[in-house]
Amino acid sequence: MNFSTLLNTEWAQVEVIDLINDGSGLAFGIIGGRSTGVVVKTILPGGVADRDGRLQSGDHILQIGEVNLRGLGSEQVASVLRQCGIHVRMVVARPVESTSSDYQVTVSAEKIFNLARPLKI
């Protein structure tokens, strides 16, 4: 996947996030499907992702390790995450308002996808 092309066309912020799983799980929930993409729904307080501070609710997960997630559903993405072991590298993207200086997410994942319960990782 060419992330610079993606950055210029769909997203204003793409970030690589490295997390170290301490054995308690990464402590975030995902939601979405093959056609919509997989989005971070919730960050569980005090968990690995929360303590790291970079992953945000509404982030679209584009890649985990070397695995491009395009066309995968949330169950498949959860499986990829579980197979990562201790070190988890994710590429995420978040839509941002071009006129905002603080880069706030413009539309929540719930409004975009209108989906129910997240899958907890």
Q: Quick one: pLDDT at residue 25?
A: 86
- Asked whether residue 68 carries a pLDDT value surpassing 90, the answer given is yes
For residue 15, which of 63, 78, 50 has the smallest C-alpha distance? 63
Q: Quick one: pLDDT at residue 11?
A: 54
- Asked whether residue 45 carries a pLDDT value surpassing 60, the answer given is yes
**Beta-strand runs (E) in the chain:** 13-20, 28-33, 37-43, 60-64, 67-68, 87-94, 119-120
Q: Quick one: pLDDT at residue 58?
A: 93
Say whether domain 3-120 belongs to CATH 2.30.42.10. yes
Within 10 angstroms of residue 8's Cβ, the number of other Cβ atoms is 10
| 8-38: pLDDT as tens digits | 455 568 999 999 998 888 999 999 888 888 9
45's CB contacts (< 8 A; 6+ apart) are none
**Lowest-confidence pick of 34-43, 72-81, 90-99:** 90-99
Q: Quick one: pLDDT at residue 24?
A: 85
Tell me the whole-structure pTM to 2 decimals: 0.70
46 burial via Cβ count (<10 Å: 0-12, 13-18, 19+): exposed
Q: Domain coordinates of the chain in residue numbers?
A: 3-120
Average pLDDT over residues 96-103: 49
